[in-house]
Amino acid sequence: MTHFLSILDLTRGDVEEIFAAAARLKTQQKRGEPHHLLQGRTLAMIFEKPSLRTRVSFEVGMFQLGGHTIHLAPETVQLGVRESVSDVARNLGRWVDGIMARVFHQATVEALARASGVPVINGLSDREHPCQALADVFTLSEHGFDPKKTRLAFVGDGNNVCHSLVLLAGLLGMTIVVSSPNGFEPDLDVVQRARALGASVELVHVPVEAVRGADAIYTDVWTSMGQEAEREKRVRAFQGYQVNRALVAHAKPGARVMHCLPAHRGEEITDDVLDGPQSLALAQAENRLHVQKAVLVRLLGRHV
């Protein structure tokens, strides 16, 4: 594991080690125990998109590990405009120990990795959101769910988060059912790769069919950043895909509800569900910090 651009960069063993390290680092942080495993290390953070959770969790994570971050805003770098992606990568690789990039295109993080000479982490792209998926399944594990025995229903757009969850299900043997309108399903090649890894991946169009018997229900925004011009079309297409009390009632009693945030309240999910006792949304957000710290230590430092 020299970069973390995709869930496909991991093995099942990698995931297990990252989860174990995340649990230890979380315990140390809660106890107030110093764990400066990246003392003197620097992470450059490239942003083409706005961010709350990604920026704060990586910045705080590096601080808690004894390292330092450099925030590079869109107007600062202008990847591919002010200078080429490869030139940016080659320069950064001479100064920093790692790069985290939150970008529009998967090809951008791949180009950074080819040229940088230092580890690159995908903080989000149009193809995947691997750090989010790791935090999600870690959160399920924390709440007593064995991935091999878990049925996860994803209701909504077959987007980057969905892709990473589907691939992670393949690594861990988890069952995942995705319910999307026609034309908004996850990419077929992602589904095929996940099935080849051992995932049970089902694609359905009726949300009730997806959530029936589910241990957890996951949703995300219908219109992601960069898709604003499609908003009206997407809102029409996703009518009937809202995660609300009526839909949750078809899942297992006490089924958990997940959302990677930010949420468009009243669209893909209702307030009473997102803020209700079955919601894991804030636990997922918190665990971005701990899982990403484990990834950072694995790539930039020594194992924990």
Active site residues per annotation? 102, 129, 132, 220, 260, 288
Cite the DSSP H helix spans in the chain: 12-31, 53-64, 74-77, 85-95, 106-116, 130-142, 160-172, 188-197, 207-211, 231-237, 245-248, 271-274, 281-300
Nearest-angstrom CA–CA distance, 43 and 261: 24
Helices 130-142 and 12-31, packing angle to 10 deg? 70
Instruction: Name residue 256's beta-bridge partners.
Output: 216
Instruction: Name residue 122's beta-bridge partners.
Output: 101
CA distances from residue 81 to 77, 86, 88, 119, 240 in whole angstroms, order as listed: 8, 12, 11, 23, 41
What φ, ψ does residue 240 adopt, rounded to 5°?
Answer: 95, -5
